[in-house]
């Protein structure tokens, strides 16, 4: 299962690096909805960095780059809604108040952790507790293509209530920058 997940993450990295290309990701099994059984042979068509359709069987539009995952299980990118991108596990809380752990340093840690999350199959994460300007700097660096792991959202959204904030979050799919 881990190899299949890593293969899917590799496909994510390939697809997100060149959004203008068309990809045909051929999957032996495809999990679209965790509440439904996995689909059999399927092809995920990615155009301009977005999933445009899912075909039954193994297909490929003319000129598409074929990603052969026919012996693997492919699933959408996962979402983690409670991460601390700008902090390291095991570091005492008081260390973040030292000169080394400045906001610029935290941004570099955040970019590193965002890449680790993307490599693990997480295409969307929400940071909780990091300095707002630092987390937004990480998000913006990703959005501008300066660093390309995947979507990153801050928990500090400019909305009055959580329901509105969640409704306004973009509905992004796997292979999306």
Distance CA 163, CA 49 (A): 28
Return the closest-CA partner of residue 5 out of 143, 123, 124: 123
Distance CA 80, CA 56 (A): 29
Q: What is the pTM of this model?
A: 0.58
Are 74 and 11 in contact, with CB atoms under 8 Å apart? Answer: yes
Give the domain ranges of the chain: 2-74, 78-168
Using 50 as the pLDDT threshold, list the residues of the chain that sit under it. Answer: 1-2, 4-7, 9-10, 12-18, 150-177
Question: From edge to edge, which strands make up the β-sheet containing 50-56?
Answer: 50-56, 42-47, 22-30, 65-74
Q: What CATH number does domain 2-74 carry, 3.30.465.10, 2.60.40.3710, 2.30.40.10, 3.90.1150.10?
A: 2.30.40.10
Report the run of H or E that residue 22 belongs to, with start and end.
strand 22-30
Distance CA 139, CA 157 (A): 12
Structure confidence by residue, pLDDT tens digits, 163-173: 333 343 333 32
How many C-beta atoms surround the C-beta of residue 151 within 10 A? 21
Q: Which CATH class is domain 78-168?
A: alpha beta
Residue labelled with tokens 């899912």: 54
Beta carbons within 8 Å of 104's beta carbon, 6+ residues apart: none
pLDDT at 28: 95
pLDDT at 78: 85
Structure confidence by residue, pLDDT tens digits, 37-48: 999 999 999 898
Distance CA 12, CA 175 (A): 5
């Amino acid at each position: 299962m881990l190899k299949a997940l890593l293969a899917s993450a590799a496909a994510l990295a390939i697809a997100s690096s060149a959004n203008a290309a068309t990809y045909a990701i051929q999957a032996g099994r495809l999990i679209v909805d965790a509440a439904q059984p996995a689909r059999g042979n399927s092809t995920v068509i990615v155009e301009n960095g977005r999933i445009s359709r899912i075909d039954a069987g193994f297909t490929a539009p003319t000129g598409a780059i074929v990603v052969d995952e026919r012996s693997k299980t492919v699933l959408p990118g996962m979402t983690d809604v409670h991460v601390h991108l700008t902090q390291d596990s095991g570091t005492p809380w008081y260390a973040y108040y030292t000169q080394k752990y400045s906001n610029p340093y935290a941004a570099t840690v955040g970019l590193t952790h965002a890449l680790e999350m993307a490599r693990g199959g997480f295409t969307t994460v929400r940071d909780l507790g990091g300095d707002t300007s630092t987390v937004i700097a990480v998000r913006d660096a990703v959005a501008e293509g300066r660093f390309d792991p995947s979507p990153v959202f801050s928990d500090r959204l400019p909305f009055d209530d959580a329901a509105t904030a969640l409704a306004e979050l973009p509905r992004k799919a796997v292979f999306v920058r």
